Amino acid sequence: MFTSLRTKLTLSMLVTSLAAISVMALITPWLLEIRFEEEARQVHFSRFVRLIENFREDNGQWGGQENALLLHKRILDSSSRLARSPEASPSHPGDLKPERHPLDSETFRYVLADPQGFVFMPFGDYQAGQQLTDRQLERSEPLYNGDQLLGYALGANEFPMTEQDKSYLMIQSRSMLLGAAAGLIVTLLLSLTMGRQLIKHLQSLTRAAIEMSKGNLNQQVSVEGKDEIALLAREFNRMALELNNTYAELKASNETIKAQAEAMQELSLRDELTGLHNRRYFNQQFRLMHHQAVRYGENLALALGDIDNFKQINDRFSHQIGDTVLKQVAKLMAEEIRDADILARYGGEEFVILLGHTDKHQAEGLVDRIRAKVAAWPWQHIHKDLSVTISFGISDKLDTDLGHSMLVEADNRLYEAKDQGRNRVCI
Protein backbone atom coordinates (compact mmCIF):
# COMPACT_ATOMS: atom_id res chain seq x y z
CA MET A 1 0.00 0.00 0.00
CA PHE A 2 2.71 2.45 1.02
CA THR A 3 4.93 1.56 -1.95
CA SER A 4 1.96 2.16 -4.23
CA LEU A 5 1.38 5.60 -2.71
CA ARG A 6 5.07 6.45 -3.11
CA THR A 7 4.91 5.36 -6.73
CA LYS A 8 1.82 7.46 -7.38
CA LEU A 9 3.44 10.50 -5.79
CA THR A 10 6.61 10.06 -7.84
CA LEU A 11 4.68 9.51 -11.06
CA SER A 12 2.47 12.54 -10.45
CA MET A 13 5.51 14.80 -9.99
CA LEU A 14 7.19 13.32 -13.06
CA VAL A 15 4.09 13.64 -15.24
CA THR A 16 3.55 17.24 -14.12
CA SER A 17 7.16 18.17 -14.82
CA LEU A 18 7.18 16.29 -18.11
CA ALA A 19 4.03 18.06 -19.23
CA ALA A 20 5.48 21.48 -18.40
CA ILE A 21 8.82 20.69 -20.05
CA SER A 22 7.09 19.23 -23.13
CA VAL A 23 5.02 22.35 -23.59
CA MET A 24 8.16 24.45 -23.28
CA ALA A 25 10.06 22.24 -25.71
CA LEU A 26 7.25 22.45 -28.27
CA ILE A 27 6.42 26.13 -28.02
CA THR A 28 9.86 27.66 -27.44
CA PRO A 29 11.48 26.42 -30.71
CA TRP A 30 8.44 27.60 -32.64
CA LEU A 31 8.61 31.05 -31.07
CA LEU A 32 12.38 31.10 -31.56
CA GLU A 33 12.03 30.29 -35.26
CA ILE A 34 9.36 32.97 -35.72
CA ARG A 35 11.57 35.52 -33.99
CA PHE A 36 14.60 34.41 -35.95
CA GLU A 37 12.75 34.71 -39.27
CA GLU A 38 11.50 38.17 -38.35
CA GLU A 39 15.00 39.37 -37.50
CA ALA A 40 16.40 37.80 -40.67
CA ARG A 41 13.65 39.43 -42.73
CA GLN A 42 14.56 42.83 -41.32
CA VAL A 43 18.22 42.22 -42.19
CA HIS A 44 17.23 41.33 -45.76
CA PHE A 45 15.04 44.41 -46.06
CA SER A 46 17.80 46.70 -44.77
CA ARG A 47 20.11 45.28 -47.46
CA PHE A 48 17.46 45.83 -50.11
CA VAL A 49 17.09 49.45 -49.01
CA ARG A 50 20.87 50.03 -49.07
CA LEU A 51 21.07 48.51 -52.56
CA ILE A 52 18.38 50.87 -53.86
CA GLU A 53 19.92 53.90 -52.10
CA ASN A 54 23.33 53.15 -53.58
CA PHE A 55 21.82 52.89 -57.05
CA ARG A 56 19.89 56.13 -56.60
CA GLU A 57 23.01 57.97 -55.46
CA ASP A 58 25.00 56.69 -58.47
CA ASN A 59 22.25 57.13 -61.04
CA GLY A 60 20.63 60.29 -59.68
CA GLN A 61 17.11 58.91 -60.09
CA TRP A 62 14.99 55.89 -59.22
CA GLY A 63 11.74 54.39 -60.49
CA GLY A 64 10.36 53.13 -63.79
CA GLN A 65 11.05 50.16 -66.02
CA GLU A 66 14.29 51.58 -67.45
CA ASN A 67 15.87 52.05 -64.00
CA ALA A 68 14.63 48.65 -62.90
CA LEU A 69 16.37 46.96 -65.86
CA LEU A 70 19.51 49.04 -65.32
CA LEU A 71 19.71 48.01 -61.64
CA HIS A 72 19.11 44.38 -62.58
CA LYS A 73 22.02 44.51 -65.05
CA ARG A 74 24.24 46.10 -62.41
CA ILE A 75 23.40 43.28 -59.96
CA LEU A 76 24.22 40.63 -62.58
CA ASP A 77 27.52 42.33 -63.50
CA SER A 78 28.48 42.57 -59.83
CA SER A 79 27.74 38.88 -59.30
CA SER A 80 29.82 37.95 -62.36
CA ARG A 81 32.81 39.99 -61.16
CA LEU A 82 32.67 38.34 -57.75
CA ALA A 83 32.47 34.90 -59.35
CA ARG A 84 35.57 35.60 -61.54
CA SER A 85 37.56 37.17 -58.74
CA PRO A 86 40.47 35.07 -57.39
CA GLU A 87 39.35 36.09 -53.90
CA ALA A 88 36.08 34.23 -54.43
CA SER A 89 37.85 30.98 -53.44
CA PRO A 90 39.99 30.53 -50.33
CA SER A 91 43.68 29.91 -50.89
CA HIS A 92 43.89 27.66 -47.83
CA PRO A 93 41.33 25.25 -46.36
CA GLY A 94 41.05 27.31 -43.20
CA ASP A 95 40.45 30.63 -44.99
CA LEU A 96 36.96 32.18 -45.07
CA LYS A 97 35.23 33.03 -48.33
CA PRO A 98 34.75 36.75 -49.00
CA GLU A 99 31.13 37.95 -48.53
CA ARG A 100 29.14 37.51 -51.72
CA HIS A 101 26.65 39.94 -53.06
CA PRO A 102 23.63 40.13 -50.71
CA LEU A 103 21.27 39.15 -53.55
CA ASP A 104 23.52 36.54 -55.17
CA SER A 105 22.53 33.54 -53.04
CA GLU A 106 20.95 30.19 -53.64
CA THR A 107 18.67 30.89 -50.70
CA PHE A 108 17.29 34.14 -52.10
CA ARG A 109 13.49 33.92 -52.32
CA TYR A 110 12.29 37.46 -53.02
CA VAL A 111 11.05 39.38 -56.05
CA LEU A 112 12.17 43.02 -55.70
CA ALA A 113 10.36 45.83 -57.48
CA ASP A 114 10.47 49.65 -57.56
CA PRO A 115 7.61 51.85 -56.24
CA GLN A 116 5.70 51.43 -59.54
CA GLY A 117 6.03 47.64 -59.31
CA PHE A 118 8.72 47.14 -62.01
CA VAL A 119 10.85 44.11 -61.14
CA PHE A 120 14.59 44.68 -60.85
CA MET A 121 15.42 41.41 -59.07
CA PRO A 122 13.34 38.47 -60.36
CA PHE A 123 12.78 35.09 -58.80
CA GLY A 124 10.99 32.00 -60.09
CA ASP A 125 8.72 32.79 -63.06
CA TYR A 126 9.09 36.57 -62.71
CA GLN A 127 11.16 38.52 -65.26
CA ALA A 128 13.25 41.68 -64.92
CA GLY A 129 11.28 44.72 -66.06
CA GLN A 130 7.96 43.00 -65.52
CA GLN A 131 5.39 45.11 -63.65
CA LEU A 132 3.66 43.50 -60.68
CA THR A 133 -0.12 43.58 -60.58
CA ASP A 134 -2.06 45.43 -57.89
CA ARG A 135 -2.91 42.12 -56.26
CA GLN A 136 0.75 41.13 -56.16
CA LEU A 137 1.69 44.51 -54.70
CA GLU A 138 -0.90 44.04 -51.97
CA ARG A 139 0.83 40.79 -50.98
CA SER A 140 4.24 42.46 -51.03
CA GLU A 141 6.00 44.17 -48.12
CA PRO A 142 6.95 47.82 -48.74
CA LEU A 143 10.56 48.96 -48.40
CA TYR A 144 10.94 52.30 -46.67
CA ASN A 145 13.79 54.62 -45.93
CA GLY A 146 12.25 56.74 -43.24
CA ASP A 147 8.90 57.83 -44.69
CA GLN A 148 9.97 57.40 -48.31
CA LEU A 149 8.75 54.34 -50.23
CA LEU A 150 11.64 52.82 -52.21
CA GLY A 151 10.04 49.63 -53.52
CA TYR A 152 8.42 46.30 -52.72
CA ALA A 153 9.64 42.83 -51.72
CA LEU A 154 7.40 39.92 -52.73
CA GLY A 155 8.51 36.84 -50.79
CA ALA A 156 8.07 33.20 -51.69
CA ASN A 157 6.21 30.78 -49.38
CA GLU A 158 9.55 29.37 -48.22
CA PHE A 159 11.60 31.74 -46.08
CA PRO A 160 15.24 32.13 -47.18
CA MET A 161 17.36 30.42 -44.55
CA THR A 162 21.07 29.55 -44.89
CA GLU A 163 22.73 26.41 -43.61
CA GLN A 164 24.28 28.53 -40.86
CA ASP A 165 20.79 29.67 -39.82
CA LYS A 166 19.52 26.09 -39.74
CA SER A 167 22.55 25.00 -37.72
CA TYR A 168 21.94 27.79 -35.20
CA LEU A 169 18.32 26.75 -34.71
CA MET A 170 19.32 23.10 -34.35
CA ILE A 171 21.83 23.98 -31.61
CA GLN A 172 19.15 25.93 -29.75
CA SER A 173 16.69 23.01 -29.96
CA ARG A 174 19.28 20.51 -28.72
CA SER A 175 20.20 22.81 -25.83
CA MET A 176 16.56 22.96 -24.76
CA LEU A 177 16.21 19.17 -24.97
CA LEU A 178 19.30 18.72 -22.79
CA GLY A 179 17.86 21.18 -20.28
CA ALA A 180 14.57 19.30 -20.28
CA ALA A 181 16.35 15.99 -19.65
CA ALA A 182 18.31 17.51 -16.77
CA GLY A 183 15.08 18.91 -15.33
CA LEU A 184 13.46 15.46 -15.42
CA ILE A 185 16.41 13.89 -13.60
CA VAL A 186 16.33 16.57 -10.87
CA THR A 187 12.55 16.13 -10.53
CA LEU A 188 12.94 12.36 -10.14
CA LEU A 189 15.58 12.75 -7.40
CA LEU A 190 13.50 15.33 -5.53
CA SER A 191 10.31 13.29 -5.78
CA LEU A 192 12.04 10.17 -4.43
CA THR A 193 13.62 12.06 -1.53
CA MET A 194 10.52 14.02 -0.58
CA GLY A 195 8.23 11.05 -1.16
CA ARG A 196 10.19 8.81 1.22
CA GLN A 197 9.84 11.29 4.08
CA LEU A 198 6.17 11.91 3.32
CA ILE A 199 5.32 8.20 3.24
CA LYS A 200 7.10 7.70 6.55
CA HIS A 201 4.88 10.28 8.22
CA LEU A 202 1.74 8.88 6.61
CA GLN A 203 2.64 5.40 7.85
CA SER A 204 2.78 6.69 11.42
CA LEU A 205 -0.60 8.37 11.05
CA THR A 206 -2.15 5.25 9.50
CA ARG A 207 -0.89 2.94 12.25
CA ALA A 208 -2.28 5.27 14.91
CA ALA A 209 -5.65 5.48 13.16
CA ILE A 210 -5.84 1.66 12.92
CA GLU A 211 -5.13 1.35 16.63
CA MET A 212 -7.86 3.88 17.40
CA SER A 213 -10.32 1.89 15.29
CA LYS A 214 -9.56 -1.11 17.53
CA GLY A 215 -10.48 0.88 20.63
CA ASN A 216 -6.99 1.98 21.69
CA LEU A 217 -7.75 5.70 21.98
CA ASN A 218 -4.53 6.74 23.70
CA GLN A 219 -2.58 7.38 20.46
CA GLN A 220 -0.05 10.13 19.72
CA VAL A 221 2.02 10.65 16.55
CA SER A 222 5.46 12.27 16.57
CA VAL A 223 5.86 14.41 13.44
CA GLU A 224 7.93 17.59 13.46
CA GLY A 225 7.78 20.49 11.02
CA LYS A 226 5.38 23.16 9.78
CA ASP A 227 4.02 21.55 6.63
CA GLU A 228 0.54 20.12 6.07
CA ILE A 229 1.51 16.62 7.26
CA ALA A 230 2.86 18.00 10.53
CA LEU A 231 -0.30 20.08 10.95
CA LEU A 232 -2.42 17.00 10.30
CA ALA A 233 -0.43 15.05 12.89
CA ARG A 234 -0.90 17.77 15.53
CA GLU A 235 -4.64 17.90 14.83
CA PHE A 236 -4.80 14.11 15.03
CA ASN A 237 -3.01 14.18 18.39
CA ARG A 238 -5.37 16.86 19.65
CA MET A 239 -8.49 15.00 18.53
CA ALA A 240 -7.19 11.71 19.90
CA LEU A 241 -6.51 13.33 23.28
CA GLU A 242 -9.92 15.00 23.34
CA LEU A 243 -11.63 11.77 22.31
CA ASN A 244 -9.77 9.82 24.97
CA ASN A 245 -10.70 12.33 27.67
CA THR A 246 -14.32 12.46 26.50
CA TYR A 247 -14.56 8.69 26.48
CA ALA A 248 -13.16 8.51 30.01
CA GLU A 249 -15.68 11.07 31.24
CA LEU A 250 -18.60 9.30 29.53
CA LYS A 251 -17.50 5.94 30.88
CA ALA A 252 -17.33 7.36 34.42
CA SER A 253 -20.96 8.46 34.53
CA ASN A 254 -23.98 6.94 32.80
CA GLU A 255 -26.03 9.98 33.73
CA THR A 256 -23.59 12.26 31.95
CA ILE A 257 -23.84 10.08 28.85
CA LYS A 258 -27.62 10.27 28.92
CA ALA A 259 -27.62 14.04 29.45
CA GLN A 260 -25.22 14.63 26.58
CA ALA A 261 -27.25 12.36 24.29
CA GLU A 262 -30.43 14.26 25.12
CA ALA A 263 -28.69 17.59 24.59
CA MET A 264 -27.37 16.47 21.21
CA GLN A 265 -30.84 15.23 20.24
CA GLU A 266 -32.33 18.59 21.17
CA LEU A 267 -29.66 20.48 19.22
CA SER A 268 -30.39 18.37 16.15
CA LEU A 269 -34.04 19.48 16.31
CA ARG A 270 -33.40 23.18 16.91
CA ASP A 271 -32.63 25.98 14.47
CA GLU A 272 -29.32 27.49 15.50
CA LEU A 273 -30.16 31.09 14.59
CA THR A 274 -33.72 31.55 15.90
CA GLY A 275 -33.85 28.88 18.60
CA LEU A 276 -37.09 27.55 17.12
CA HIS A 277 -37.62 23.92 16.18
CA ASN A 278 -36.27 23.07 12.75
CA ARG A 279 -37.87 21.44 9.74
CA ARG A 280 -36.82 17.98 10.83
CA TYR A 281 -38.70 18.30 14.12
CA PHE A 282 -41.73 19.77 12.36
CA ASN A 283 -41.88 16.85 9.93
CA GLN A 284 -41.83 14.36 12.80
CA GLN A 285 -44.62 16.12 14.70
CA PHE A 286 -46.66 16.81 11.55
CA ARG A 287 -46.80 13.12 10.63
CA LEU A 288 -48.00 12.20 14.12
CA MET A 289 -50.59 15.00 14.46
CA HIS A 290 -51.88 14.57 10.92
CA HIS A 291 -52.32 10.82 11.40
CA GLN A 292 -54.16 11.39 14.67
CA ALA A 293 -56.45 14.08 13.18
CA VAL A 294 -57.39 11.87 10.22
CA ARG A 295 -57.96 8.82 12.40
CA TYR A 296 -60.14 10.53 15.02
CA GLY A 297 -61.73 13.19 12.82
CA GLU A 298 -60.11 16.10 14.68
CA ASN A 299 -59.39 19.57 13.30
CA LEU A 300 -55.85 20.45 12.30
CA ALA A 301 -54.64 23.68 10.73
CA LEU A 302 -51.27 24.49 9.15
CA ALA A 303 -49.98 28.01 8.48
CA LEU A 304 -46.96 28.82 6.29
CA GLY A 305 -45.44 32.26 6.83
CA ASP A 306 -42.83 34.08 4.73
CA ILE A 307 -41.16 37.42 5.54
CA ASP A 308 -41.96 39.86 2.73
CA ASN A 309 -39.08 41.08 0.54
CA PHE A 310 -36.51 39.44 2.79
CA LYS A 311 -33.88 39.29 0.03
CA GLN A 312 -34.10 43.07 -0.34
CA ILE A 313 -33.56 43.42 3.43
CA ASN A 314 -30.37 41.37 3.15
CA ASP A 315 -29.17 43.21 0.06
CA ARG A 316 -29.99 46.70 1.33
CA PHE A 317 -29.13 46.48 5.03
CA SER A 318 -26.72 43.48 5.26
CA HIS A 319 -27.09 39.80 6.16
CA GLN A 320 -26.37 40.62 9.81
CA ILE A 321 -29.51 42.76 10.00
CA GLY A 322 -31.38 40.04 8.11
CA ASP A 323 -30.41 37.55 10.82
CA THR A 324 -31.58 39.98 13.49
CA VAL A 325 -34.95 40.31 11.70
CA LEU A 326 -35.33 36.50 11.60
CA LYS A 327 -34.65 36.20 15.34
CA GLN A 328 -37.06 39.02 16.23
CA VAL A 329 -39.87 37.65 14.04
CA ALA A 330 -39.38 34.22 15.63
CA LYS A 331 -39.63 35.80 19.09
CA LEU A 332 -42.85 37.67 18.21
CA MET A 333 -44.43 34.50 16.81
CA ALA A 334 -43.43 32.42 19.83
CA GLU A 335 -45.14 34.95 22.14
CA GLU A 336 -48.52 34.42 20.41
CA ILE A 337 -48.80 30.67 19.92
CA ARG A 338 -50.18 28.22 22.48
CA ASP A 339 -48.07 25.68 24.34
CA ALA A 340 -49.59 22.82 22.36
CA ASP A 341 -48.89 24.45 18.99
CA ILE A 342 -45.78 23.62 16.94
CA LEU A 343 -43.71 26.58 15.65
CA ALA A 344 -40.67 25.88 13.47
CA ARG A 345 -38.36 27.58 11.04
CA TYR A 346 -39.21 25.86 7.76
CA GLY A 347 -36.24 27.21 5.81
CA GLY A 348 -34.66 30.59 4.95
CA GLU A 349 -37.24 33.25 5.81
CA GLU A 350 -40.14 30.76 5.98
CA PHE A 351 -41.89 29.69 9.22
CA VAL A 352 -44.56 27.05 9.83
CA ILE A 353 -47.19 26.79 12.59
CA LEU A 354 -49.08 23.56 13.30
CA LEU A 355 -52.32 24.10 15.27
CA GLY A 356 -54.07 21.04 16.72
CA HIS A 357 -57.84 21.01 17.33
CA THR A 358 -58.09 24.21 15.25
CA ASP A 359 -59.93 24.92 12.01
CA LYS A 360 -58.75 27.39 9.38
CA HIS A 361 -60.93 30.27 10.63
CA GLN A 362 -59.64 29.95 14.20
CA ALA A 363 -56.15 29.71 12.82
CA GLU A 364 -56.73 32.84 10.77
CA GLY A 365 -57.43 34.88 13.91
CA LEU A 366 -54.25 33.75 15.65
CA VAL A 367 -52.05 34.15 12.58
CA ASP A 368 -53.46 37.58 11.77
CA ARG A 369 -52.51 38.76 15.28
CA ILE A 370 -48.98 37.60 14.56
CA ARG A 371 -48.99 39.41 11.20
CA ALA A 372 -50.18 42.66 12.79
CA LYS A 373 -47.69 42.34 15.65
CA VAL A 374 -44.79 41.93 13.21
CA ALA A 375 -45.89 44.91 11.11
CA ALA A 376 -46.32 47.14 14.21
CA TRP A 377 -43.06 46.26 15.92
CA PRO A 378 -40.59 49.25 15.98
CA TRP A 379 -38.08 47.96 13.44
CA GLN A 380 -36.47 51.41 13.40
CA HIS A 381 -34.65 50.37 16.56
CA ILE A 382 -32.61 48.03 14.36
CA HIS A 383 -32.23 50.44 11.42
CA LYS A 384 -33.94 53.79 10.86
CA ASP A 385 -35.13 52.82 7.35
CA LEU A 386 -36.17 49.24 8.17
CA SER A 387 -39.75 47.97 8.03
CA VAL A 388 -40.82 44.31 8.12
CA THR A 389 -44.05 42.51 7.24
CA ILE A 390 -45.00 38.88 6.87
CA SER A 391 -47.55 36.97 4.77
CA PHE A 392 -49.31 33.69 5.63
CA GLY A 393 -51.15 30.91 3.84
CA ILE A 394 -53.43 28.61 5.87
CA SER A 395 -54.90 25.18 5.16
CA ASP A 396 -56.97 22.69 7.20
CA LYS A 397 -57.35 20.21 4.36
CA LEU A 398 -57.11 16.65 5.67
CA ASP A 399 -56.46 13.86 3.16
CA THR A 400 -54.99 10.42 3.66
CA ASP A 401 -51.76 11.43 1.93
CA LEU A 402 -49.51 11.99 4.96
CA GLY A 403 -50.20 15.74 4.85
CA HIS A 404 -48.85 16.46 1.39
CA SER A 405 -52.05 18.11 0.17
CA MET A 406 -52.21 20.29 3.30
CA LEU A 407 -48.67 21.59 2.68
CA VAL A 408 -49.41 22.23 -0.99
CA GLU A 409 -52.65 24.05 -0.13
CA ALA A 410 -50.95 26.26 2.48
CA ASP A 411 -48.13 27.06 0.07
CA ASN A 412 -50.62 28.02 -2.66
CA ARG A 413 -52.44 30.33 -0.24
CA LEU A 414 -49.09 31.88 0.72
CA TYR A 415 -48.36 32.66 -2.93
CA GLU A 416 -51.84 34.11 -3.20
CA ALA A 417 -51.10 36.42 -0.26
CA LYS A 418 -47.89 37.52 -1.99
CA ASP A 419 -49.71 38.19 -5.24
CA GLN A 420 -52.35 40.28 -3.48
CA GLY A 421 -49.78 42.69 -2.13
CA ARG A 422 -48.12 40.91 0.84
CA ASN A 423 -48.67 41.60 4.58
CA ARG A 424 -51.86 39.55 4.61
CA VAL A 425 -53.32 36.14 5.48
CA CYS A 426 -55.02 33.91 2.91
CA ILE A 427 -57.06 30.77 3.71
pLDDT of the chain, 427 residues: tens digit per residue: 445 555 666 677 667 766 766 666 667 766 766 776 777 777 778 888 888 888 888 888 898 999 989 988 888 887 776 666 655 444 443 333 434 444 544 456 789 999 999 999 898 889 999 999 999 999 988 999 888 998 998 876 555 555 666 676 677 667 767 776 776 677 667 666 666 666 776 777 787 788 777 777 777 777 677 777 777 777 778 887 887 777 777 777 656 556 565 667 767 889 999 999 999 999 999 999 999 999 999 999 999 999 999 999 999 999 999 999 999 999 999 999 999 999 999 999 999 999 999 999 999 999 999 999 999 999 999 999 999 999 999 999 988 888 899 999 999 999 999 999 999 999 9
Task: Say if residue 148 is in the same domain as residue 236.
Answer: no
Task: Say if residue 264 is in the same domain as residue 223.
Answer: yes
Question: Rounded CA gap, 68 and 334, in Å?
Answer: 102
Residues, the chain: 427
Query: Looking at 209, 241, 268, which one is the last position of a domain?
Result: 268
Q: In what order do the strands lie in the sheet with 119-121?
A: 119-121, 110-113, 148-155, 141-145
Q: Is residue 330 part of a domain?
A: yes
Query: Looking at 120, 141, 164, which one is the last position of a domain?
Result: 164
Going by DSSP bridges, is the β-strand pair 148-155/342-347 parallel, antiparallel, or unpaired? unpaired
Q: Give residue 75's domain range.
A: 2-83+99-164
Q: Which residues are designated catalytic?
A: 349
Task: Say if residue 253 is in the same domain as residue 137.
Answer: no
Task: Say if residue 325 is in the same domain as residue 380.
Answer: yes
Task: Say if residue 151 is in the same domain as residue 289.
Answer: no
Task: Say if residue 291 is in the same domain as residue 366.
Answer: yes
Query: Looking at 268, 284, 305, which one is the last position of a domain?
Result: 268
Q: Is residue 207 part of a domain?
A: no
Q: Is residue 175 part of a domain?
A: no
Q: Is residue 43 part of a domain?
A: yes
Task: Say if residue 296 is in the same domain as residue 390.
Answer: yes
Q: Is residue 327 part of a domain?
A: yes
CATH of the domain at 323: 3.30.70.270
Question: Rounded CA gap, 345 and 406, in Å?
Answer: 17
Task: Say if residue 134 is in the same domain as residue 225.
Answer: no
Overall number of domains in the chain: 3
Task: Say if residue 280 is in the same domain as residue 252.
Answer: no
Q: Is residue 128 part of a domain?
A: yes
Q: Is residue 181 part of a domain?
A: no
Task: Say if residue 312 is in the same domain as residue 363.
Answer: yes
Task: Say if residue 40 is in the same domain as residue 144.
Answer: yes
Task: Say if residue 340 is in the same domain as residue 277.
Answer: yes
For the question of whether the overall pTM of this predicted structure is more than 0.85, the answer is no
| CB-side neighbour CA atoms (13 Å) of 50 | 9
Q: Is 13 exposed, middle or buried (0-12, 13-18, 19+ CB in 10 A)?
A: middle
